[in-house]
Amino acid sequence: MEKLKLDDLQLKVMQVLWREGEVGVSGIQEQLKAKEDRELAITTLNTVLQRLYKRGIVNYRKEGRQYIYRAEVTEKETQSSMASSLIDKLFKGKSSVLVNHLLESSAFDQDELEDLKRKIAAAQQKKKDNE
């Protein structure tokens, strides 16, 4: 797993691809306008996509003379990669340090806490089963 780093706009674009599967550039433009409220020139998106393509993060097929792009990394991979990068850089490399920080800053409401408790129990169970 190489380090995958996506900046803001790149992420927005990737999110469209993750949602849609395959999209042409103008489709991406529409989606961004609709869901993210970002009005970007087509040429801007073209540039972004081309750069992502050079890095192997997206790929495309041609349909007529249109480029239909698709993501080459999954959302989960990206989440893992970027989360662990943050954890490494700022939370001593330990997820638990991050979570403690979040707990301290009251980042969760009651329902979420309850839910987490359940999920943790499940994770513990799973660990036990794997032994």
Partner DNA sequence: GCTTTAATACTACAAGTGTAGTAGTTTTGT
Partner DNA sequence: ACAAAACTACTACACTTGTAGTATTAAAGC
| 94: DSSP letter | -
Minimum distance between the CB of residue 69 and DNA, rounded to whole angstroms? 8
Nearest-angstrom CA–CA distance, 104 and 77? 27
The pair of three-digit structure tokens given for residue 13, joined into one six-digit string = 């674009």
Residue type, 103: L
> Using the rule CB under 8 A, is 74 a contact of a copy of itself?
no
Q: Which does 94 bind (CB under 5 to 8 A by kind): a copy of itself, DNA, none?
A: a copy of itself
Write down the least CB distance from residue 126 to a copy of itself, Å: 8
- Containing 58, the helix (H) or strand (E) segment is strand 58-63
**Which residues contribute to the site for DNA (CB under 7 A)?**
5-10, 24-26, 38, 40-44, 46-48, 50-51, 55, 64-67
